[in-house]
A and B are shown apart, each in its own frame.
Chain A
Amino acid sequence: MSQDHIRRQIVGRGIPLPGHDIDTDRIMPARYLKSVTFQGLEGHVFEDDRRQASDHPFNHPRYHGASILVVGRNFGSGSSREHAPEGLRRWGIRGLVGESFAEIFIGNCIALGLPCLTLAPEDVTWLMEAVARNPEQEIVLHVEHRVVTFGDRTIPARLADAHHHQLVTGTWNATGALLEAGEAIERVARKLPYISGY
């Protein structure tokens, strides 16, 4: 764990992205996965959607510098490509708030230290509209207390206990914690019939 990994609270301007079931092929088109590094992915986030819709939020100057992405239902479905949240992170996103997230995507976000908070559908709708009206107003993701504030409104949010723990203690890079199990890993392996030769 390190101090700069602690994610108790994320503060930043919002960028609302309406729509449901936005899959990771749309977040990061597959042709940009043809690289052995993640460098430059920030330039390709939502590239095809942005080309087909000039009013896409990621094209809009009013959202430049935003760091909290507000999304709908089942965001990040489909491919397990970490290039999608990695691209968002490199673009400047530091936290996500939405109606719901796909399971592999949320795991990838946590592994990058990006909190994903879930709100009631009507609260997501309200927040998207409020941010669109006032993009200069900062959103506060109170990760530790599981609430989101915007102006004078406080909205209850959900965050799985394990993710909450990893974010507020700065242990979302899981390698260290997994290594601490030491030889217990080999002991479990040796007991498995398919490893011991049945």
Chain B
Amino acid sequence: MSYGDHSITTRSSGFDRHSRKASDTPVDWLRAAPQCVIIAAIMAKALLDKVWDAHTVRTLPSGQTQLFFGLHLIHEVTSPQAFQMLREMGLRVRFPERTFATIDHIVPTASQVRPFRDALAEEMTAHLVSNCKEFGVPLFDLDSGRQGIVHIIGPELGLTQPGMTIACGDSHTSTHGALGALAFGIGTSQVRDVLATQCLGMDRPKLRQIRVVGSLARGVYAKDVILAIIHWLGVKGGVGYAYEYAGSAIQAMSMEERLTICNMSIEGGARVGYVNPDATTFAYLRGRPFAPQGAAFDRAVTWWTSMATDPDATFDDVFHLNAESIEPMVTWGINPGQSVGVGEPIPHPAEAPETDRAAWAEALAFMSFEPGRPIVGTPIDVAFIGSCTNARLSDLRAAAEVARGRKVARGLRALVVPGSQAVAKAAEAEGLHEIFQAAGFDWRKAGCSLCLGMNEDKLTGREICASSSNRNFKGRQGSPTGRTLLMSPTMVAAAAIAGEVTDVREWLR
């Protein structure tokens, strides 16, 4: 791999990181101890610990922590059964004012006039509307101007704030960690529990710091960084961990770039990923509808700052990655860890660790890809710019720069799906939709779209899609045999125009 420069270190401090609580340590011993560095390390806490402790209600009989959730986001797919269970138990929503709903997964993106053509989608929408009304939950409906993918609108509206705990019945809830929150994807039974109690029983995860240092080369984006991290740590490397993203490359990123990074934590197995709140975070939040206003904002900044990881905090382990060695990344297989730099060939299963060889062979067979062949030049049928990973204004701006004055390859389907109504409005105000349309892209309305096969946007047959989304699983984009190549939005735009996978860096010179 040409983008090497990475390593993992484990700090063995001789005690369990989780048992280190300042309150557990006798003050006299602290004063007497000569090793000041050790004291600092003991006193110092990571954001994970501070937020966890602030939201702890009690220890459950199972030994888990009963953790309070400051924000619960719901959508039409994972909530209807939860509301029904609530009804059967005769319970209400405990904190309706801390619960917000939107519609994203099943919503069509061509026409959003109701009733939808798809009767099942219409039924799910009608249920969400009536459940929200019955239980007093605010809904960002299609006519609100605030509808969009749940992980786009939370930060965009200022609902997502540093120091919060957040739950949502969607695995990409990790996205919200970009603002310094602990955000957990959950299933429907847990949605029921949060509706009923605003709490969940949870085990505190271990903590891995991922330090990305240096500057990204032109044409290399946050998407490439997170794909590179998952490439090195694997799709299950983060199971049981929270990922704290840090280092000069992360600090230099905009909030939207950090959202892309945290979004795909779950693809590396980590249920939670976060970036410590800083000036970038505060500037992003100022003036957003649900962010604190006036003097309250300044007080909030003080608290938010105090929740960031202390300089001397320790981690269960630390992973180092040099940003300068990262190329634009492209996946060649059926999970997000199966990727190469765009300048590299599709790997041979013989190169895989022994335990992965069969999986690599299965992936290559499904993709009908030949090992040793360059990934560049792989023909594509569909190009998709969208999803909770990469459908924010900065993503669309970057892709539009590539599309400007060019034409989508003949016979290729290309669509741009803004992540929210607000993103769509802002993009249209800048004329981005006209750039895309002139190039032959479809300009759609906000929704999850072609990221998953739950609405009208789907692959058919063996189509290959260059996609800015987050999952290249078998069947993910709606055709059981369809194929997905994950990459950054600019790489997708370039592939749409070239008709094949191409190195976007050559287009930006």
Closest to A25 in B: B473
> A78 to nearest B CB, angstroms?
6
Query: How far does the alpha carbon of A69 sit from the alpha carbon of B50 in the complex, in Å?
Result: 39
> A120 to nearest B CB, angstroms?
13
Closest to A101 in B: B239
CB contact between B127 and one of A21, A36, A49 (< 8 Å): that residue: A36
A177, B60: Cβ atoms under 8 Å? Answer: yes
CB contact between B80 and one of A23, A37, A173 (< 8 Å): that residue: A37
Which residues of A55-93 have CB atoms within 8 Å of chain B's CB atoms?
Answer: 73-74, 77-83, 85-86
A104, B188: Cβ atoms under 8 Å? Answer: no
Query: A191 to chain B: which residues have CB within 8 Å?
Result: 54
A26-B475, A31-B454 given; A102·B269 CB < 8 A: yes
Query: How far does the alpha carbon of A100 sit from the alpha carbon of B478 in the complex, in Å?
Result: 27
> B115 to nearest A CB, angstroms?
15
A23-B335, A174-B193 given; A102·B239 CB < 8 A: yes
B197, A185: Cβ atoms under 8 Å? Answer: yes
B70, A181: Cβ atoms under 8 Å? Answer: no
B461 at the interface (CB under 8 A from A): no
Query: How far does the alpha carbon of A49 sit from the alpha carbon of B106 in the complex, in Å?
Result: 23
Closest to A37 in B: B81
B81, A36: Cβ atoms under 8 Å? Answer: yes
A48, B475: Cβ atoms under 8 Å? Answer: yes
B185 at the interface (CB under 8 A from A): yes
Query: How far does the alpha carbon of A102 sit from the alpha carbon of B269 in the complex, in Å?
Result: 7
> B128 to nearest A CB, angstroms?
9
B68 at the interface (CB under 8 A from A): yes
Query: B303 to chain A: which residues have CB within 8 Å?
Result: 193-194, 198
B199 at the interface (CB under 8 A from A): yes
B186, A192: Cβ atoms under 8 Å? Answer: no
Number of residues from A at the complex interface, CB < 8 A? 65
A82, B189: Cβ atoms under 8 Å? Answer: yes
* Interface residue SS majority, chain A: helix
Query: B478 to chain A: which residues have CB within 8 Å?
Result: 30-31
Query: How far does the alpha carbon of A163 sit from the alpha carbon of B239 in the complex, in Å?
Result: 16
Query: A102 to chain B: which residues have CB within 8 Å?
Result: 236, 239, 269
> B130 to nearest A CB, angstroms?
10
Which residues of A165-198 have CB atoms within 8 Å of chain B's CB atoms?
Answer: 165-166, 169, 171, 173-175, 177-179, 181, 184-185, 188-189, 191-195, 197-198
Closest to A35 in B: B120
B343 at the interface (CB under 8 A from A): no
Query: B370 to chain A: which residues have CB within 8 Å?
Result: none
> B354 to nearest A CB, angstroms?
11
Closest to A112 in B: B189
Interface 1/0 per residue, A27-52 and B, CB below 8 Å: 00111011111100000000011011
Query: How far does the alpha carbon of A193 sit from the alpha carbon of B64 in the complex, in Å?
Result: 24
Closest to A23 in B: B473
B187 at the interface (CB under 8 A from A): yes
B296 at the interface (CB under 8 A from A): yes
B269, A103: Cβ atoms under 8 Å? Answer: yes
Query: How far does the alpha carbon of A179 sit from the alpha carbon of B66 in the complex, in Å?
Result: 10
A111 at the interface (CB under 8 A from B): yes
CB contact between B475 and one of A25, A86, A104 (< 8 Å): that residue: A25
Closest to A193 in B: B303
Query: How far does the alpha carbon of A102 sit from the alpha carbon of B63 in the complex, in Å?
Result: 21
B453, A31: Cβ atoms under 8 Å? Answer: yes
B220 at the interface (CB under 8 A from A): no
Which of B30-38, B39-47, B164-172, B395-403 lies on the face that meets chain A? B164-172
Query: B123 to chain A: which residues have CB within 8 Å?
Result: 36
A26-B474, A80-B170, A166-B62 given; A194·B70 CB < 8 A: yes
Query: A52 to chain B: which residues have CB within 8 Å?
Result: 480-481
Closest to A173 in B: B189
CB contact between B271 and one of A21, A49, A103, A194 (< 8 Å): that residue: A103
CB contact between A181 and one of B55, B118, B197 (< 8 Å): that residue: B197
A19 at the interface (CB under 8 A from B): yes
Query: B197 to chain A: which residues have CB within 8 Å?
Result: 175, 178-179, 181, 185
A149 at the interface (CB under 8 A from B): no
Which residues of B61-79 have CB atoms within 8 Å of chain A's CB atoms?
Answer: 61-64, 66, 68, 70, 77-78
Interface 1/0 per residue, B291-312 and A, CB below 8 Å: 0100011011001000000000
A79, B171: Cβ atoms under 8 Å? Answer: yes
Query: A82 to chain B: which residues have CB within 8 Å?
Result: 78, 81, 187-189
Interface 1/0 per residue, B246-288 and A, CB below 8 Å: 0000000000000000000011010100000000000000000
Lowest 6 A-B CB distances belong to which pairs? A111-B189, A48-B480, A82-B187, A108-B187, A36-B80, A74-B236
- Chain B residues with CB under 8 Å of chain A are 54-58, 60-64, 66, 68, 70, 77-78, 80-81, 84, 89, 91, 94-95, 98, 105-106, 118, 120-121, 123-124, 127, 161, 163-164, 169-171, 185-190, 192-193, 196-201, 203, 235-236, 239-240, 266-267, 269, 271, 292, 296-297, 299-300, 303, 335, 355-356, 358-359, 362, 452-454, 471, 473-476, 478, 480-481
Show 21 residue pairs from A and B whose CB-CB distance is below 8 angstroms, ordered by the A residue. A20-B355, A25-B471, A25-B474, A30-B476, A31-B453, A31-B454, A35-B124, A38-B81, A80-B169, A81-B77, A83-B188, A100-B236, A161-B63, A162-B60, A171-B61, A173-B189, A174-B193, A177-B62, A178-B201, A194-B164, A195-B70
Q: A36-B81, A177-B60 are in contact. List 8 more A-B contacts (CB 8 A).
A: A48-B475, A78-B471, A82-B78, A162-B203, A165-B63, A175-B91, A188-B55, A197-B296
